[in-house]
Amino acid sequence: MIKVTVLGRASAKPTVSSHPSAQVVNVNEQYYLVDAGEGVQQQMFRRGINPLKLRAVFISHLHGDHVFGLFPLLSTMGLCGRQTPLKVFAPRPFGEILEYHLRYFDSHLPYQVEWVEVDTTKHCCIFENKTLEVWSVPLRHSVPCSGYHFKEKRPELNVHKFKIEKYGLSIAQIVAAKRGEDIVLEDGTLIENSELTYLPFEPRSYAYLSDTSRSAVAAERVKGVTLLYHEATYTAEFARDAKERGHSTAADAAQIAVAAGAQRLMIGHFSSRYKSPEALLAEAQTIFENTTLAEEGETYTV
C-alpha cells in the first residue's frame, strides 16, 4: 500500500497557512521524503512521522523552496542518534552543497549521507528494493528538474487454498505455481496456472511532478499512474507567466492527468497570490473531474 502525506504545498515562499513543497511517501511502512522545503522537520513532527524512519530522500531540483529544509533535518537526525546511512537523490550540483554543509555544520554526523546524482534528462529506475521501484521523470523547468514515479512491483501469485486441497498439491508444486508455472499431477493431468492462482492486488503507483511546464513526454512516462501529483502554480489567466517561469496552470495539470490516463489527480505548489486554492481546483475539475487539492497534514491512500 502507498500513502502520501502532504507536508507543504506552497510555491516559492512559506505563507501564514502553507509551507513549501515536501511530502512523505509511505510504501508498506518504508518512508521516503520527496522534496524538503523550509520547515519540513517541524511538519514531520507535527504529523507524527519519525525522521529516523526515512529510507531515502528525493529532491526534484535545487530551488530553495524544495531543498532549504533538508539541511536542518540532517542535523536533527544526527542529534537523534541516527546511524543508518541515508541516500539523497538529487540533481547536480547538490553534491557540492552537501559537502559544504557537512564541512561547516555537520562534520561529525553519526551516520553517512550519500548523494546519488539524478540525471534530469533520463527516464530510468534509480532506486529499487523487493517491493518498489522509483523512476526519474524528466521535467521542463527553469533549472534541471526531475519528477519521481513510485511503482509497486507485481506481487507474487497466491495459490487458492481449496485448490491445494482439491489436487493434493505438494510444497514444490505450490512454489512452482507461485512462479506462474502450470502443474502436472502424478496421473498426467495438466492444471493451468490460471486455475490455481490469483494476484493478491494490482500494483499501484504514485507520480510526483513538480516543478514543470506542461509536458507530453512526462505524461507518457507516468502512463496509467494511480495517483498523480502535479504542480498547479497558476490559474489559466496567468498562462504566460507559467510558461515563462517553467510552471503549470491548473488546466495544464488536468490535461496531463488526462494524457497520462491517471486514476486520480492531486494539485499543489500554489502561488501565494491565491488566498484560497478553490479557483485552481475548479479549473482543473472542468477538465479532469477526479481532482483534489493537496491539503497540508492530510494523508492520501493510493
pLDDT tier for residue 242 given thresholds of 50, 70 and 90: very high
Domain total in the chain: 2
Tell me: do 235 and 286 sit in the same domain: yes
250 vs 266: CA distance, rounded Å: 10
Q: Are residues 145 and 224 in the same domain?
A: yes
Whether 113 and 226 share a structural domain:
yes
244's torsion region: left (phi>0), alpha (psi -120 to 50) or beta?
Answer: alpha
14 shares its domain with 149: yes
Q: Within a 10 A sphere around the Cβ of 282, how many other Cβ atoms? A: 12
| CATH code of the domain in which 108 resides | 3.60.15.10
- Pairing verdict, β 299-301 and 54-58: unpaired
* Among 302, 301, 240, 298, residue whose Cα is nearest residue 46: 298
Tell me the residue type at 128: E
* Statement to judge: residues 268 and 183 lie in one domain: no
Q: Are 110 and 221 members of one domain?
A: yes
| Claim to verify: residue 56 and residue 68 sit in the same structural domain | yes
pLDDT of residue 216: 97
Clarify whether residues 82 and 210 are in a common domain: yes
- Do 90 and 178 belong together in one domain? no
Which pLDDT does position 232 carry in this prediction? 98
Active site residues: 65
Residue 239's domain comprises 2-155+201-301
In the prediction, which pLDDT does 79 show?
97
Separation CA 231–CA 211 (nearest Å): 6
* Residue 240 and residue 185 share a domain: no
Contact between residue 4 and residue 24 where contact means Cβ atoms under 8 Å apart: yes
pLDDT digits (tens, 9 = 90+) for 218-239: 999 999 999 999 999 999 999 9
Pair 83, 174 in one domain: no
